[in-house]
Structure 1
Amino acid sequence: MDVAGQAVQIATVDDGLPVGETSRPVIVRANDAYTARLHTSLDAVRPLWLRFQRDGVCTAHQHFAWVEGIVARLMPAGAEPLIVEVNDAVTGAPLMLVPLMLRSAFQHRVIEWLSCGVCDYSAPLLADAGAWTAQSAQAAWGAVRSVLPSADRFHITGIPQQIGGVANPLALLATTRDSVQTTFGLAIDGDPETVLKRLCRPSFVKEFGKDWRRLERLGDVELVQALSADQVEEIFGELVRMRLSRFRELGRFDLLTQEAVVDFYRDAAIQGLSDGSVRLFGLRVGGSLIAVQYLLVHQGTVHALLIAMDQSAVPNVSPGMAIIGRLMRWAREQDFGYFDLSVGNQSYKEHMGAKGSVLVELCHGYTMRGRAASNAIDLRNRTEAFVRSKPRLLNVAQRLMRGLRRSRGGR
């Protein structure tokens, strides 16, 4: 709901575009606490974004280079980025950036997070680690809403409760609700050599030790990091091959079936060679890769984003658990303090001893079409969650999906 007593003005800002090129005027609205300014170009907010990224609080999923790749490669035709800058109404100091997008979907307009399926978390960039309250978050969101174009619905999922230990203002909104998604992770500290023994469950530590010894009997076991474009091409190519093979076997869809998504991840990994924001690792045994892990890193946190493994390479060994366990040690060697296992209720996460946190969502329909679409999406998501919670039902669904994919030529 918009906050009462808003002052409206149209402002032209220096957006850093080349001489002779101008962006459309920015809409600025104000309430007693905050002003909001709408930008429809990443270039217009680049300096502020990079400052918040460097000195403020954000997740690796909101790195400028990551989002720049989304806009360049993944946004649907006709979609428009909506970057909202929130400022203090008294001092004018920038406080927050909220990256959204407007797109058409089944004959209606939806505003959602600027993600296109490659951001696990929807979290604004904050100027600093100052505390937010439910009241201040609601007022700031009112300012955000006041500058956004009309739409049939909002659909923002994957909202974490915190951003680097700071309360996420989006999660404090009264209209959010718990989603069916849970994220898992482990706080890591101390000696890298003993990080698994000290922080993971004994059963996992025992299993990891057995698997590692089995691997060592097959030859040299090496954790290799892609440090050049050629190595990214090689290791990422294996990730795509292993992952698509595994997902076909399970009868599950994967975004990596889309060429644009593959190109996005590959290019982000190559770009990450210069700033370290993306890391790509492979676990090599006797000269062959048996597992690959794609990581994002920022502000003391390692995000385990994409994992792929050749489950048939070594009998009675879990290559996925082997590479994750080894990477936790690497993370401590690099002085990281949190290992994020990403979104999903896979059993191995609790088996390791990771702690879960439910993500929230902000999903509302504002027109008849918007409400119908919101209700349909909610039903689909909860049906999927129910099926995944029932192993027998899940097995039946996966068999059906495998048969359907085979009938379509293995896609």
Structure 2
Amino acid sequence: MAVQAVQIAAVTGSPDGQSSHPATVVAIDAYTARLHTSLEAVRPLWLRLQADGVCTAHQNYAWAEGIVARLMPEGAELLIVEVNDAVTGAPRMLVPLIRRPAFRHRVIEWLSCGVCDYSAPLLADASPWTMQSAQAAWAAVRSVLPPADRIQITGIPQSISGVANPLALLAATRDSLHTSFGLAIDGDPETVLKRLCRPSFVKAFNKDWRRLERLGDVELVEANTPALVEVIFGGLVRMRLSRFRELGRFDLLTQATAVDFYRNAALEGLSDGSVRLFGLRVGEALIAVQYLLIHQVTVHALLISIDQGAVPNVSPGLLIMGKLMSWARGRGFDYFDLSVGNQSYKEHMGAVGSGLRELCHGITVRGSAVSAAIEVRNRTEVFVRSKPRLLKRLQGLMRDLRRLRGGSE
């Protein structure tokens, strides 16, 4: 495999938009790879691929900008790799990564910081990828990355809007323990639930909706002003933290930086429509909130929170999702993504699962040892979650520990 590397010095804010640090351009067979260490350096190309190419909402530029500004851990470095055709120089994809310090080692991972369900490069177009072309492109990417002890990229979807994800084709990539779920939606918005969801779900939805209507006016409210964003997002945080404490589970929204990130993204979404926030109200009571990401024809149901005790024998979460499926179809969207996780309600709705992939391996001896330990931990967690009695006992223990640490909590 022929390799040629050239160091190129660049200046921030220059007309060609290059990195503020020297960038390495490496040619490997059919591809060249160029490393950038700032978002500004690739902003024009990123926005072009976002608009005209293939990517997920989790790789929206504004979303990535928020991650870099608000969530990057101390000591982390941004690594954005631009992959081009070696013959024509045309862009093929952007791969957004970070390198961060971990316990006595360094790891390269996706630019996610816990807020991206999916790890997928931004592709220039819908041209098909093969195992050979993906492997060659990844070899070019690896050639410009700085030293690290291990690589950990999780949440790799097998395809991006119908195009094979090059990361999922790599020989080193393996099946993940996680699955994503979604529903293709089409036809009349008014009948989308009846036509596409399971009859048992439709029956339960209609029954619960009638119960709500007997209690007062029921309204699906979109947070379309800054004031409504603050109110509805505040309800999301409050209900979600209360629910997760009850279940004895950790939630990212216990961290102030994450709350700040999601709130800011929702406010920015008022102008570009990339983030939408909805609340379900009965009278003046907010009983459910759904946080959505939007990209092209896909709606991603990202965060949901419910007040389970507000209305007895009613599932507010399923009600708001059902209403939002009709809303999404009415605005021309054709896929409703229910995100990652094997929660039973997804299959109850009739959603179709798709296994995710992951690229997790050591580069050094230390990195290999850490990767092996993480694999054992992950499989242990899956085992525990498959045993309801054991899971319930551990959740109770976690609740007791939180009460001891937090007093009334």
**Bucket of the pairwise TM-score, normalised by the shorter protein:** over 0.9
SS in 2 for 1:119: coil
1:282 aligns with 2:279: yes
Aligned equivalent of 1:96: 93
Aligned equivalent of 1:130: 127
Name which of 343, 352, 374 aligns with 1:377: 374
Aligned equivalent of 1:231: 228
SS in 2 for 1:49: helix
Query: How far did 1:353 drift?
Result: 0.6
Check the 8 A contact 2:178/2:356 in 1, yes or no. yes
Aligned equivalent of 2:394: 397
1:147 aligns with 2:136: no
Query: How far did 1:389 drift?
Result: 1.4
Name which of 46, 49, 52 aligns with 1:49: 46
TM-score under structure 2 length normalisation:
0.98
Aligned equivalent of 1:265: 262
- Measured in 2, the distance between the counterparts of 1:185 and 1:387 equals 26
- Measured in 1, the distance between the counterparts of 2:262 and 2:14 equals 27
Return 5+ residue gaps in structure 2 as ranges.
none
Aligned equivalent of 1:256: 253
- Measured in 1, the distance between the counterparts of 2:369 and 2:226 equals 46
Query: How far did 1:13 drift?
Result: 4.5
Which letter maps to 2:69? A
Check the 8 A contact 1:17/1:43 in 2, yes or no. no
Query: How far did 1:12 drift?
Result: 3.3
Query: How far did 1:231 drift?
Result: 0.7
Name which of 44, 50, 71 aligns with 2:68: 71
Q: How does 1:2-81 map to 2 (within 5 A)?
A: 4-13=1-10, 15-16=12-13, 23-81=20-78
Aligned equivalent of 1:181: 178
1:121 aligns with 2:118: yes
- Measured in 2, the distance between the counterparts of 1:293 and 1:215 equals 18
Query: How far did 1:379 drift?
Result: 1.0
Residue identity (%): 76
Check the 8 A contact 1:296/1:304 in 2, yes or no. yes
Query: How far did 1:396 drift?
Result: 1.1
Moved over 2 A (4+): 12-19
Give per-residue Cα distances to partners, 1:251-277, cap 9 Å, x unaligned.
000000000000000000000000000
Aligned equivalent of 1:333: 330
Aligned equivalent of 2:81: 84
Change (3 A) 1:22 1:168: closer
Check the 8 A contact 1:14/1:44 in 2, yes or no. no
SS in 1 for 2:24: strand
Query: How far did 1:315 drift?
Result: 0.3
1:167 aligns with 2:164: yes
Name which of 344, 365, 368 aligns with 2:365: 368
- Measured in 1, the distance between the counterparts of 2:191 and 2:252 equals 36
SS in 1 for 2:113: coil
Query: How far did 1:16 drift?
Result: 2.9
- Measured in 2, the distance between the counterparts of 1:329 and 1:389 equals 33
Change (3 A) 1:23 1:14: closer
Check the 8 A contact 1:15/1:45 in 2, yes or no. no
Aligned equivalent of 2:155: 158
Name which of 403, 406, 409 aligns with 1:406: 403
Query: How far did 1:83 drift?
Result: 0.1
- Measured in 1, the distance between the counterparts of 2:177 and 2:387 equals 15
TM-score under structure 1 length normalisation:
0.97
- Measured in 1, the distance between the counterparts of 2:10 and 2:256 equals 37
Give per-residue Cα distances to partners, 1:10-40, cap 9 Å, x unaligned.
1234653599x97111100001200000000
Name which of 199, 202, 207 aligns with 1:202: 199
Give per-residue Cα distances to partners, 1:131-175, cap 9 Å, x unaligned.
001110000000000000010000000000011111100000011
- Measured in 2, the distance between the counterparts of 1:17 and 1:184 equals 43
Give per-residue Cα distances to partners, 1:101-156, cap 9 Å, x unaligned.
00000010000000000000000000001100111000000000000001000000
Check the 8 A contact 2:99/2:108 in 1, yes or no. yes
